[in-house]
Protein backbone atom coordinates (compact mmCIF):
# COMPACT_ATOMS: atom_id res chain seq x y z
CA UNK A 1 0.00 0.00 0.00
CA UNK A 2 1.09 3.66 -0.42
CA UNK A 3 3.68 5.24 1.85
CA UNK A 4 2.55 7.57 4.65
CA UNK A 5 1.88 11.14 3.42
CA UNK A 6 4.99 13.24 2.80
CA UNK A 7 5.17 16.18 5.21
CA UNK A 8 4.91 19.32 3.07
CA UNK A 9 6.74 22.46 4.10
CA UNK A 10 7.96 25.59 2.28
CA UNK A 11 10.95 25.35 -0.02
CA UNK A 12 12.90 27.83 -2.11
CA UNK A 13 11.82 27.29 -5.71
CA UNK A 14 8.14 26.52 -5.18
CA UNK A 15 7.38 29.04 -2.46
CA UNK A 16 10.02 31.73 -1.99
CA UNK A 17 11.41 32.36 -5.49
CA UNK A 18 8.54 31.02 -7.51
CA UNK A 19 6.77 30.85 -9.77
CA UNK A 20 8.95 32.38 -12.47
CA UNK A 21 6.25 34.06 -14.51
CA UNK A 22 5.05 36.76 -16.87
CA UNK A 23 4.59 40.14 -15.16
CA UNK A 24 1.71 40.28 -12.71
CA UNK A 25 0.82 39.29 -9.18
CA UNK A 26 1.96 35.89 -7.95
CA UNK A 27 -1.21 35.38 -5.90
CA UNK A 28 -3.65 37.12 -8.26
CA UNK A 29 -2.22 36.09 -11.64
CA UNK A 30 0.14 33.10 -11.36
CA UNK A 31 -1.94 31.09 -8.88
CA UNK A 32 -5.19 31.41 -10.89
CA UNK A 33 -3.19 30.51 -14.01
CA UNK A 34 -1.94 27.37 -12.29
CA UNK A 35 -5.48 26.48 -11.14
CA UNK A 36 -6.75 26.92 -14.69
CA UNK A 37 -3.93 24.73 -15.99
CA UNK A 38 -4.94 21.96 -13.59
CA UNK A 39 -8.57 22.26 -14.67
CA UNK A 40 -7.47 22.05 -18.30
CA UNK A 41 -5.65 18.79 -17.55
CA UNK A 42 -9.00 17.29 -16.48
CA UNK A 43 -10.16 17.58 -20.10
CA UNK A 44 -7.63 14.91 -21.02
CA UNK A 45 -6.41 16.64 -24.16
CA UNK A 46 -9.81 17.81 -25.40
CA UNK A 47 -9.48 21.33 -26.84
CA UNK A 48 -11.20 24.11 -24.90
CA UNK A 49 -14.41 25.46 -26.47
CA UNK A 50 -15.63 27.72 -23.65
CA UNK A 51 -14.17 29.26 -20.48
CA UNK A 52 -16.12 30.43 -17.44
CA UNK A 53 -14.45 31.63 -14.23
CA UNK A 54 -16.46 32.34 -11.10
CA UNK A 55 -15.22 34.47 -8.19
CA UNK A 56 -16.82 35.71 -4.98
CA UNK A 57 -18.38 39.14 -4.80
CA UNK A 58 -16.64 39.78 -1.48
CA UNK A 59 -13.32 38.19 -2.42
CA UNK A 60 -10.05 39.92 -3.23
CA UNK A 61 -10.28 39.38 -6.99
CA UNK A 62 -13.36 41.60 -7.31
CA UNK A 63 -11.69 44.80 -6.18
CA UNK A 64 -8.41 44.48 -8.08
CA UNK A 65 -9.61 42.66 -11.20
CA UNK A 66 -7.43 43.60 -14.17
CA UNK A 67 -4.83 45.56 -12.24
CA UNK A 68 -2.64 42.51 -11.63
CA UNK A 69 -3.35 40.64 -14.89
CA UNK A 70 -5.80 38.36 -13.09
CA UNK A 71 -7.90 37.87 -16.24
CA UNK A 72 -4.89 37.07 -18.43
CA UNK A 73 -3.62 34.50 -15.93
CA UNK A 74 -6.99 32.77 -15.72
CA UNK A 75 -7.41 32.59 -19.48
CA UNK A 76 -3.88 31.33 -20.11
CA UNK A 77 -4.28 28.63 -17.49
CA UNK A 78 -7.63 27.54 -18.91
CA UNK A 79 -5.90 27.00 -22.26
CA UNK A 80 -3.25 24.81 -20.64
CA UNK A 81 -0.55 27.48 -20.43
CA UNK A 82 1.69 28.04 -17.41
CA UNK A 83 2.46 31.54 -16.02
CA UNK A 84 5.68 31.81 -18.05
CA UNK A 85 3.97 31.23 -21.41
CA UNK A 86 5.82 33.05 -24.22
CA UNK A 87 2.67 34.64 -25.70
CA UNK A 88 1.04 35.36 -22.35
CA UNK A 89 -0.20 38.87 -23.15
CA UNK A 90 -1.80 37.90 -26.46
CA UNK A 91 -4.35 35.48 -25.00
CA UNK A 92 -7.47 37.61 -25.52
CA UNK A 93 -6.81 38.31 -29.22
CA UNK A 94 -6.01 34.62 -29.67
CA UNK A 95 -9.32 33.56 -28.10
CA UNK A 96 -11.21 36.05 -30.25
CA UNK A 97 -9.45 34.83 -33.39
CA UNK A 98 -10.35 31.21 -32.61
CA UNK A 99 -13.94 31.96 -31.60
CA UNK A 100 -13.61 30.72 -28.02
CA UNK A 101 -15.95 32.61 -25.68
CA UNK A 102 -14.97 33.38 -22.10
CA UNK A 103 -16.75 34.94 -19.15
CA UNK A 104 -15.84 36.14 -15.67
CA UNK A 105 -18.73 35.90 -13.19
CA UNK A 106 -18.75 37.48 -9.75
CA UNK A 107 -21.22 35.70 -7.50
CA UNK A 108 -21.56 34.14 -4.07
CA UNK A 109 -18.96 31.38 -3.89
CA UNK A 110 -20.51 28.61 -1.82
CA UNK A 111 -17.79 26.05 -2.45
CA UNK A 112 -14.99 27.90 -0.63
CA UNK A 113 -14.92 30.67 1.96
CA UNK A 114 -11.32 31.64 1.15
CA UNK A 115 -10.86 35.29 0.14
CA UNK A 116 -8.86 34.17 -2.91
CA UNK A 117 -11.15 31.38 -4.14
CA UNK A 118 -12.21 30.84 -7.73
CA UNK A 119 -13.94 28.21 -9.84
CA UNK A 120 -13.06 27.19 -13.39
CA UNK A 121 -15.74 25.68 -15.61
CA UNK A 122 -14.26 24.51 -18.92
CA UNK A 123 -16.10 22.92 -21.81
CA UNK A 124 -14.20 20.94 -24.42
CA UNK A 125 -14.99 20.68 -28.11
CA UNK A 126 -16.34 17.18 -27.51
CA UNK A 127 -18.82 18.56 -24.97
CA UNK A 128 -16.86 17.24 -21.99
CA UNK A 129 -16.92 19.54 -18.95
CA UNK A 130 -14.22 20.01 -16.31
CA UNK A 131 -14.56 22.01 -13.09
CA UNK A 132 -12.05 22.93 -10.43
CA UNK A 133 -12.42 25.05 -7.30
CA UNK A 134 -9.16 26.32 -5.82
CA UNK A 135 -7.79 28.88 -3.40
CA UNK A 136 -4.80 31.08 -4.06
CA UNK A 137 -2.87 30.88 -0.80
CA UNK A 138 0.00 33.26 -1.55
CA UNK A 139 3.15 33.42 -3.61
CA UNK A 140 1.62 31.61 -6.57
CA UNK A 141 0.71 28.59 -4.45
CA UNK A 142 -2.74 27.05 -4.66
CA UNK A 143 -4.84 24.48 -2.87
CA UNK A 144 -7.58 22.61 -4.66
CA UNK A 145 -10.94 22.23 -2.94
CA UNK A 146 -13.22 20.48 -5.49
CA UNK A 147 -12.29 18.53 -8.62
CA UNK A 148 -15.20 17.86 -10.98
CA UNK A 149 -17.47 18.21 -7.96
CA UNK A 150 -15.49 15.88 -5.69
CA UNK A 151 -13.62 16.97 -2.57
CA UNK A 152 -9.85 16.95 -2.94
CA UNK A 153 -7.22 18.98 -1.11
CA UNK A 154 -3.97 19.22 -3.04
CA UNK A 155 -1.19 21.73 -3.68
CA UNK A 156 -0.37 20.93 -7.30
CA UNK A 157 2.89 19.37 -6.15
CA UNK A 158 2.37 15.89 -7.64
CA UNK A 159 0.57 14.08 -10.42
CA UNK A 160 -2.84 13.01 -9.11
CA UNK A 161 -4.81 10.17 -10.63
CA UNK A 162 -8.52 10.91 -10.14
CA UNK A 163 -10.96 8.01 -10.61
CA UNK A 164 -14.59 9.17 -10.62
CA UNK A 165 -17.00 6.69 -9.05
CA UNK A 166 -20.45 8.26 -9.30
CA UNK A 167 -22.22 5.11 -8.06
CA UNK A 168 -19.69 4.26 -5.30
CA UNK A 169 -19.29 0.90 -6.97
CA UNK A 170 -15.50 0.49 -6.93
CA UNK A 171 -13.33 -1.12 -4.24
CA UNK A 172 -10.79 1.54 -3.24
CA UNK A 173 -8.13 -0.85 -1.90
CA UNK A 174 -8.37 -3.04 -4.98
CA UNK A 175 -7.98 0.00 -7.24
CA UNK A 176 -4.88 1.09 -5.39
CA UNK A 177 -3.39 -2.41 -5.59
CA UNK A 178 -3.93 -2.53 -9.36
CA UNK A 179 -2.22 0.81 -9.90
CA UNK A 180 0.61 -0.06 -7.49
CA UNK A 181 1.28 -3.17 -9.53
CA UNK A 182 1.99 -0.92 -12.51
CA UNK A 183 3.71 2.09 -10.89
CA UNK A 184 4.63 3.58 -7.47
CA UNK A 185 1.87 5.31 -5.49
CA UNK A 186 2.85 7.86 -2.82
CA UNK A 187 -0.50 8.43 -1.17
CA UNK A 188 -4.15 7.56 -1.79
CA UNK A 189 -7.56 8.54 -0.48
CA UNK A 190 -11.24 9.09 -1.23
CA UNK A 191 -13.17 12.34 -1.67
CA UNK A 192 -16.95 12.66 -1.45
CA UNK A 193 -18.98 14.11 -4.29
CA UNK A 194 -21.24 17.15 -3.96
CA UNK A 195 -24.04 15.15 -5.60
CA UNK A 196 -23.12 11.72 -4.25
CA UNK A 197 -20.53 9.23 -5.29
CA UNK A 198 -16.82 9.42 -4.55
CA UNK A 199 -13.51 10.15 -6.24
CA UNK A 200 -10.60 7.81 -5.62
CA UNK A 201 -7.35 9.79 -5.78
CA UNK A 202 -3.78 8.56 -5.94
CA UNK A 203 -0.68 10.76 -5.81
CA UNK A 204 1.99 9.46 -8.18
CA UNK A 205 5.53 10.55 -9.08
CA UNK A 206 5.15 10.46 -12.86
CA UNK A 207 2.51 10.43 -15.62
CA UNK A 208 0.58 7.19 -15.99
CA UNK A 209 2.52 4.23 -17.29
CA UNK A 210 1.04 2.01 -20.00
CA UNK A 211 0.45 -0.65 -17.36
CA UNK A 212 -1.54 1.76 -15.21
CA UNK A 213 -3.60 2.87 -18.22
CA UNK A 214 -4.42 -0.77 -18.95
CA UNK A 215 -5.56 -1.26 -15.34
CA UNK A 216 -7.89 1.75 -15.70
CA UNK A 217 -9.54 0.63 -18.93
CA UNK A 218 -13.29 1.23 -18.84
CA UNK A 219 -13.12 3.61 -15.86
CA UNK A 220 -13.84 7.34 -15.79
CA UNK A 221 -10.57 8.95 -14.78
CA UNK A 222 -8.32 11.98 -15.29
CA UNK A 223 -4.84 12.99 -14.22
CA UNK A 224 -4.11 16.35 -12.59
CA UNK A 225 -0.69 17.58 -13.70
CA UNK A 226 1.69 19.18 -11.17
CA UNK A 227 2.26 22.92 -11.44
CA UNK A 228 5.30 23.33 -9.18
CA UNK A 229 8.90 23.27 -10.47
CA UNK A 230 9.93 21.03 -7.56
CA UNK A 231 7.39 18.19 -7.34
CA UNK A 232 7.03 16.35 -4.06
CA UNK A 233 8.50 12.86 -4.03
CA UNK A 234 9.29 10.28 -1.39
CA UNK A 235 12.86 11.66 -1.41
CA UNK A 236 11.66 14.69 0.58
CA UNK A 237 13.28 14.79 4.04
CA UNK A 238 12.10 16.49 7.27
CA UNK A 239 12.37 20.27 7.46
CA UNK A 240 15.87 21.31 8.50
CA UNK A 241 14.98 24.51 10.40
CA UNK A 242 11.94 26.65 11.19
CA UNK A 243 13.65 29.69 12.70
CA UNK A 244 17.00 31.46 12.54
CA UNK A 245 18.04 30.28 16.00
CA UNK A 246 18.04 26.67 14.78
CA UNK A 247 19.58 27.72 11.45
CA UNK A 248 22.46 29.47 13.24
CA UNK A 249 22.93 26.53 15.61
CA UNK A 250 23.28 24.10 12.69
CA UNK A 251 25.78 26.40 11.00
CA UNK A 252 27.86 26.72 14.19
CA UNK A 253 27.85 22.98 14.92
CA UNK A 254 28.84 22.08 11.36
CA UNK A 255 31.30 24.93 10.85
CA UNK A 256 29.33 26.19 7.86
CA UNK A 257 27.99 29.51 6.66
CA UNK A 258 24.26 30.20 6.70
CA UNK A 259 24.19 29.98 2.90
CA UNK A 260 25.61 26.45 3.03
CA UNK A 261 22.99 25.33 5.56
CA UNK A 262 20.32 26.95 3.39
CA UNK A 263 21.49 24.79 0.50
CA UNK A 264 21.23 21.75 2.79
CA UNK A 265 17.65 22.84 3.58
CA UNK A 266 16.71 22.89 -0.10
CA UNK A 267 18.41 19.55 -0.72
CA UNK A 268 16.23 18.01 2.02
CA UNK A 269 13.10 19.72 0.68
CA UNK A 270 13.58 18.87 -2.99
CA UNK A 271 15.54 15.61 -2.95
CA UNK A 272 17.94 17.28 -5.39
CA UNK A 273 21.73 17.06 -5.19
CA UNK A 274 23.80 20.04 -4.04
CA UNK A 275 24.84 20.64 -7.63
CA UNK A 276 21.21 20.73 -8.80
CA UNK A 277 20.15 23.11 -6.02
CA UNK A 278 22.98 25.55 -6.72
CA UNK A 279 22.62 25.28 -10.49
CA UNK A 280 18.91 26.17 -10.41
CA UNK A 281 19.59 29.32 -8.38
CA UNK A 282 22.63 30.29 -10.45
CA UNK A 283 21.39 29.35 -13.93
CA UNK A 284 17.62 29.92 -13.71
CA UNK A 285 16.69 32.22 -10.83
CA UNK A 286 19.60 34.69 -11.01
CA UNK A 287 19.54 35.26 -14.80
CA UNK A 288 15.80 35.99 -14.71
CA UNK A 289 16.27 38.36 -11.78
CA UNK A 290 19.12 40.10 -13.60
CA UNK A 291 17.14 40.47 -16.81
CA UNK A 292 14.10 41.80 -14.95
CA UNK A 293 16.14 44.61 -13.39
CA UNK A 294 18.49 45.34 -16.30
CA UNK A 295 16.62 44.61 -19.55
CA UNK A 296 15.19 48.11 -19.92
CA UNK A 297 18.73 49.52 -19.83
CA UNK A 298 20.54 46.84 -21.81
CA UNK A 299 18.07 45.40 -24.34
CA UNK A 300 15.74 46.66 -27.06
CA UNK A 301 12.54 45.89 -25.15
CA UNK A 302 9.44 47.97 -24.53
CA UNK A 303 7.33 47.99 -21.36
CA UNK A 304 3.58 47.72 -21.65
CA UNK A 305 1.85 51.05 -21.18
CA UNK A 306 -1.75 51.99 -20.43
CA UNK A 307 -3.41 55.30 -19.54
CA UNK A 308 -2.90 54.25 -15.92
CA UNK A 309 0.80 53.37 -16.14
CA UNK A 310 3.69 55.31 -14.68
CA UNK A 311 7.12 54.40 -16.00
CA UNK A 312 8.86 55.07 -12.72
CA UNK A 313 12.29 54.19 -14.04
CA UNK A 314 12.07 56.96 -16.66
CA UNK A 315 10.84 59.51 -14.14
CA UNK A 316 13.73 58.59 -11.85
CA UNK A 317 16.31 58.49 -14.63
CA UNK A 318 15.38 61.92 -15.93
CA UNK A 319 14.57 63.62 -12.66
CA UNK A 320 17.35 62.36 -10.41
CA UNK A 321 20.36 63.45 -12.48
CA UNK A 322 20.98 66.56 -10.42
CA UNK A 323 19.87 65.24 -7.06
CA UNK A 324 22.86 65.54 -4.71
CA UNK A 325 22.14 62.32 -2.82
CA UNK A 326 21.57 60.11 -5.87
CA UNK A 327 24.96 58.52 -5.42
CA UNK A 328 26.59 55.15 -4.97
CA UNK A 329 24.83 51.98 -4.03
CA UNK A 330 21.58 53.65 -2.92
CA UNK A 331 21.13 55.46 -6.24
CA UNK A 332 22.00 52.36 -8.25
CA UNK A 333 19.66 50.20 -6.14
CA UNK A 334 16.79 52.57 -6.86
CA UNK A 335 17.65 52.56 -10.56
CA UNK A 336 17.45 48.77 -10.82
CA UNK A 337 14.40 48.49 -8.57
CA UNK A 338 12.55 51.04 -10.72
CA UNK A 339 13.39 49.02 -13.83
CA UNK A 340 11.92 45.94 -12.20
CA UNK A 341 8.47 47.54 -11.94
CA UNK A 342 6.83 47.86 -15.39
CA UNK A 343 5.59 44.74 -17.20
CA UNK A 344 7.77 43.89 -20.20
CA UNK A 345 6.53 41.18 -22.58
CA UNK A 346 9.01 38.32 -22.74
CA UNK A 347 10.84 39.41 -19.57
CA UNK A 348 9.84 37.17 -16.68
CA UNK A 349 9.32 38.02 -13.02
CA UNK A 350 10.72 36.08 -10.07
CA UNK A 351 8.50 36.59 -7.01
CA UNK A 352 10.02 36.86 -3.60
CA UNK A 353 7.34 36.76 -2.15
CA UNK A 354 5.47 39.59 -3.92
CA UNK A 355 5.11 39.23 -7.69
CA UNK A 356 8.12 41.39 -8.52
CA UNK A 357 9.84 40.92 -5.16
CA UNK A 358 12.72 38.83 -6.48
CA UNK A 359 13.58 41.62 -8.88
CA UNK A 360 13.38 44.27 -6.19
CA UNK A 361 15.57 42.14 -3.94
CA UNK A 362 18.04 41.44 -6.71
CA UNK A 363 18.18 45.11 -7.72
CA UNK A 364 19.73 45.87 -4.34
CA UNK A 365 22.12 42.91 -4.40
CA UNK A 366 23.18 43.67 -7.97
CA UNK A 367 23.92 47.29 -7.09
CA UNK A 368 26.08 46.20 -4.15
CA UNK A 369 27.89 43.63 -6.28
CA UNK A 370 28.70 46.27 -8.93
CA UNK A 371 29.60 49.10 -6.57
CA UNK A 372 31.92 46.95 -4.42
CA UNK A 373 33.28 44.82 -7.25
CA UNK A 374 32.14 41.59 -5.63
CA UNK A 375 32.24 38.17 -7.25
CA UNK A 376 28.79 36.95 -8.46
CA UNK A 377 29.25 33.95 -6.19
CA UNK A 378 28.91 36.34 -3.24
CA UNK A 379 25.54 37.46 -4.61
CA UNK A 380 24.57 33.82 -5.07
CA UNK A 381 25.26 33.16 -1.39
CA UNK A 382 23.21 36.22 -0.50
CA UNK A 383 20.26 34.82 -2.45
CA UNK A 384 20.45 31.52 -0.57
CA UNK A 385 20.36 33.39 2.74
CA UNK A 386 17.38 35.41 1.48
CA UNK A 387 15.66 32.18 0.46
CA UNK A 388 16.17 30.72 3.94
CA UNK A 389 14.64 33.82 5.53
CA UNK A 390 11.71 33.57 3.13
CA UNK A 391 11.18 29.89 3.92
CA UNK A 392 10.96 30.71 7.64
CA UNK A 393 8.30 33.32 6.87
CA UNK A 394 6.32 30.86 4.74
CA UNK A 395 6.57 28.33 7.56
CA UNK A 396 5.23 30.66 10.24
CA UNK A 397 2.71 32.81 8.34
CA UNK A 398 1.09 33.44 4.98
CA UNK A 399 3.40 36.08 3.45
CA UNK A 400 0.82 37.58 1.14
CA UNK A 401 -1.31 40.71 1.08
CA UNK A 402 -4.52 38.71 1.43
CA UNK A 403 -3.36 37.12 4.70
CA UNK A 404 -1.28 39.66 6.66
CA UNK A 405 -1.23 42.74 4.45
CA UNK A 406 1.77 44.25 2.73
CA UNK A 407 3.91 43.19 5.68
CA UNK A 408 3.73 39.75 4.08
CA UNK A 409 5.00 41.09 0.77
CA UNK A 410 7.15 44.24 0.97
CA UNK A 411 7.95 43.60 4.64
CA UNK A 412 9.15 40.04 4.12
CA UNK A 413 11.04 41.15 1.01
CA UNK A 414 12.78 43.81 3.13
CA UNK A 415 13.81 41.21 5.72
CA UNK A 416 15.12 38.89 3.01
CA UNK A 417 17.07 41.72 1.39
CA UNK A 418 18.56 42.96 4.67
CA UNK A 419 19.76 39.46 5.53
CA UNK A 420 21.19 38.93 2.04
CA UNK A 421 23.04 42.26 2.08
CA UNK A 422 24.55 41.43 5.47
CA UNK A 423 25.70 38.02 4.16
CA UNK A 424 27.30 39.70 1.12
CA UNK A 425 29.13 42.18 3.34
CA UNK A 426 30.58 39.46 5.54
CA UNK A 427 28.32 39.92 8.56
CA UNK A 428 28.17 37.38 11.35
CA UNK A 429 25.29 34.94 11.65
CA UNK A 430 23.89 37.00 14.52
CA UNK A 431 24.10 40.20 12.48
CA UNK A 432 22.29 38.56 9.57
CA UNK A 433 19.40 37.66 11.86
CA UNK A 434 19.45 41.12 13.45
CA UNK A 435 19.17 42.83 10.06
CA UNK A 436 16.19 40.67 9.07
CA UNK A 437 14.51 41.21 12.44
CA UNK A 438 14.81 45.00 12.39
CA UNK A 439 13.68 45.31 8.77
CA UNK A 440 10.54 43.29 9.49
CA UNK A 441 9.88 45.09 12.77
CA UNK A 442 9.66 48.36 10.81
CA UNK A 443 7.19 46.85 8.33
CA UNK A 444 4.56 45.39 10.65
CA UNK A 445 0.99 46.59 10.26
CA UNK A 446 1.17 47.65 6.61
CA UNK A 447 -2.12 47.05 4.79
CA UNK A 448 -2.24 45.70 1.25
CA UNK A 449 -4.09 48.46 -0.58
CA UNK A 450 -2.96 48.83 -4.21
CA UNK A 451 -5.01 51.53 -5.92
CA UNK A 452 -6.61 50.29 -9.17
CA UNK A 453 -5.40 52.65 -11.86
CA UNK A 454 -3.17 54.34 -9.30
CA UNK A 455 0.17 54.04 -11.12
CA UNK A 456 1.42 51.29 -8.79
CA UNK A 457 0.92 53.35 -5.65
CA UNK A 458 1.30 52.94 -2.72
CA UNK A 459 3.16 49.75 -3.64
CA UNK A 460 6.15 51.48 -5.23
CA UNK A 461 6.54 53.76 -2.21
CA UNK A 462 6.91 50.68 -0.04
CA UNK A 463 9.16 48.97 -2.56
CA UNK A 464 11.62 51.86 -2.25
CA UNK A 465 11.62 51.15 1.48
CA UNK A 466 12.77 47.62 0.62
CA UNK A 467 15.47 48.94 -1.69
CA UNK A 468 16.94 51.54 0.62
CA UNK A 469 16.13 50.56 4.18
CA UNK A 470 17.29 46.96 3.75
CA UNK A 471 20.76 48.44 3.25
CA UNK A 472 20.35 50.71 6.27
CA UNK A 473 19.19 47.88 8.54
CA UNK A 474 22.06 45.71 7.37
CA UNK A 475 24.53 48.47 8.29
CA UNK A 476 22.78 49.05 11.61
CA UNK A 477 23.04 45.36 12.47
CA UNK A 478 26.73 45.28 11.49
CA UNK A 479 27.29 48.34 13.65
CA UNK A 480 26.24 46.19 16.62
CA UNK A 481 22.59 47.10 17.19
CA UNK A 482 20.67 44.53 19.22
CA UNK A 483 17.28 43.83 17.54
CA UNK A 484 15.94 42.58 20.91
CA UNK A 485 13.55 40.15 19.22
CA UNK A 486 14.73 37.03 17.37
CA UNK A 487 13.48 36.97 13.80
CA UNK A 488 10.90 34.20 14.24
CA UNK A 489 9.19 36.12 17.05
CA UNK A 490 8.87 39.14 14.79
CA UNK A 491 7.32 36.94 12.10
CA UNK A 492 4.84 35.64 14.67
CA UNK A 493 3.96 39.21 15.71
CA UNK A 494 3.52 40.14 12.05
CA UNK A 495 1.19 37.19 11.63
CA UNK A 496 -0.94 38.11 14.66
CA UNK A 497 -1.25 41.77 13.71
CA UNK A 498 -1.76 41.06 10.02
CA UNK A 499 -4.53 38.55 10.63
CA UNK A 500 -6.22 41.19 12.79
CA UNK A 501 -6.57 43.60 9.87
CA UNK A 502 -10.03 43.99 8.41
CA UNK A 503 -10.82 42.43 5.05
CA UNK A 504 -10.89 45.92 3.54
CA UNK A 505 -7.12 46.12 4.15
CA UNK A 506 -6.20 42.77 2.59
CA UNK A 507 -5.79 43.42 -1.14
CA UNK A 508 -9.49 44.01 -1.79
CA UNK A 509 -9.07 47.62 -3.05
CA UNK A 510 -11.67 48.77 -0.53
CA UNK A 511 -9.73 50.23 2.39
CA UNK A 512 -6.47 51.97 3.26
CA UNK A 513 -5.27 54.27 0.50
CA UNK A 514 -8.03 52.90 -1.74
CA UNK A 515 -10.63 54.64 0.42
CA UNK A 516 -9.29 58.12 -0.41
CA UNK A 517 -11.54 60.16 -2.76
CA UNK A 518 -8.86 60.47 -5.45
CA UNK A 519 -8.14 56.73 -5.27
CA UNK A 520 -11.84 55.94 -5.70
CA UNK A 521 -12.02 58.18 -8.76
CA UNK A 522 -8.95 56.52 -10.29
CA UNK A 523 -10.32 53.04 -9.58
CA UNK A 524 -13.62 53.94 -11.25
CA UNK A 525 -11.81 55.26 -14.32
CA UNK A 526 -9.62 52.17 -14.50
CA UNK A 527 -12.55 49.76 -14.29
CA UNK A 528 -14.40 51.61 -17.04
CA UNK A 529 -11.31 51.40 -19.25
CA UNK A 530 -10.60 47.75 -18.42
CA UNK A 531 -14.15 46.76 -19.36
CA UNK A 532 -13.39 47.89 -22.92
CA UNK A 533 -10.24 45.75 -23.24
CA UNK A 534 -11.69 42.65 -24.86
Please give the average per-residue pLDDT across 413-424, as a whole number. Answer: 97
| The pLDDT of residue 327 | 77
Q: At what angle do helices 429-441 and 410-424 cross, to 10 degrees?
A: 160
Please give the average per-residue pLDDT across 122-144, as a whole number. Answer: 94
| The pLDDT of residue 2 | 62
| pLDDT at residue 361 greater than cutoff 60 | yes
Strand, helix or coil at 8?
coil
| pLDDT, the chain, mean | 94
Q: Which of 298, 362, 368, 357 is nearest to 331 (CA)?
A: 368
Distance of CA 107 to CAs 34, 57, 441, 451, Å? 22, 5, 38, 23
Q: Which of 389, 476, 387 is nearest to 427 (CA)?
A: 476
Contacts of 30 (CB under 8 A, 6+ apart): 19, 21, 24, 73, 83, 140, 351, 355
Contacts of 76 (CB under 8 A, 6+ apart): 33, 36, 82, 83, 85, 88, 91
| pLDDT at residue 5 greater than cutoff 80 | no
**In the sheet where 117-124 sits, what is the strand order?**
102-107, 48-56, 117-124, 129-138, 141-147, 150-151
pTM of the model: 0.90
Q: Give the up-direction half-sphere exposure of residue 360: CA atoms within 13 A in the CB hemisphere.
A: 32
Q: At what angle do helices 487-499 and 244-254 cross, to 10 degrees?
A: 160
Q: pLDDT tens, 474-514?
A: 999 999 999 999 999 999 999 999 999 999 999 899 999 99
| The pLDDT of residue 471 | 96
- Beta strand 102-107 with 48-56: parallel, antiparallel or unpaired? parallel
Cα–Cα dist 252/257, whole Å: 8
Q: Which of 31-35, 58-62, 477-481 bottoms out in mean pLDDT, i.e. has the lowest?
A: 58-62
Q: Which of 133-137, 226-230, 310-314, 347-351 bottoms out in mean pLDDT, i.e. has the lowest?
A: 310-314
Cα–Cα dist 179/202, whole Å: 9
Which helix (H) or strand (E) segment is 134 a member of? strand 129-138
Q: Model confidence at 6, in pLDDT bands (50, 70, 90)?
A: low
Residues forming a β-bridge with 142 = 136
Q: pLDDT tens, 15-30?
A: 999 899 998 888 899 9
Which helix (H) or strand (E) segment is 200 a member of? strand 198-204
| pLDDT at residue 235 greater than cutoff 90 | no
**Is the CB of residue 441 less than 8 Å from the CB of residue 481?**
no
H-assigned helices in 42-154: 60-64, 70-78, 91-97
Cα–Cα dist 408/92, whole Å: 32
Q: Compute CA 496 distance to the chain's CA centroid, rounded to the nearest angstrom.
A: 22
Please give the average per-residue pLDDT across 40-63, as a whole number. Answer: 94
| pLDDT at residue 400 greater than cutoff 90 | no
| pLDDT at residue 3 greater than cutoff 60 | no
Which helix (H) or strand (E) segment is 522 a member of? helix 517-530
| The pLDDT of residue 325 | 78
Residues forming a β-bridge with 465 = none
Q: Which of 19, 21, 22 is nearest to 304 (CA)?
A: 22
Please give the average per-residue pLDDT across 240-257, as a whole number. Answer: 98
Cα–Cα dist 132/107, whole Å: 16
Share of the chain above pLDDT 90, in %: 81
**In the sheet where 159-165 sits, what is the strand order?**
187-192, 198-204, 159-165, 221-224
Cα–Cα dist 345/85, whole Å: 10
| pLDDT at residue 266 greater than cutoff 60 | yes
More confident residue, 244 or 110: 244
Q: Compute CA 466 distance to the chain's CA centroid, rounded to the nearest angstrom.
A: 18
| The pLDDT of residue 267 | 97
Amino acid sequence: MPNKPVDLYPEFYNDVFGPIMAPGSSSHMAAPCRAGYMCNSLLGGDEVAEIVVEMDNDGSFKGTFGTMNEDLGMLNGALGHMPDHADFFNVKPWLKEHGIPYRFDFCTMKESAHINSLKFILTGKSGKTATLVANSIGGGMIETVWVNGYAFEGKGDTYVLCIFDAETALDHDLLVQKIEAAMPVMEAGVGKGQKGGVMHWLKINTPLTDGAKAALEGLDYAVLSPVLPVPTTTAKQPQLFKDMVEWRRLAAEQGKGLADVAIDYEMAASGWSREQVVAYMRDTVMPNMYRRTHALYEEDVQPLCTPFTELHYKVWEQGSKNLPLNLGVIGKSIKYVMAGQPPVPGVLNVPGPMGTGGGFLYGVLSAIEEELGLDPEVTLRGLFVAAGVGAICYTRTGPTGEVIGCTGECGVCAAMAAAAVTEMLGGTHEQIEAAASMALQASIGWPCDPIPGGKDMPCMARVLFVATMSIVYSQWAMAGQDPVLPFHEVVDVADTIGRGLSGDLLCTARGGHCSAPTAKAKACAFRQWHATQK
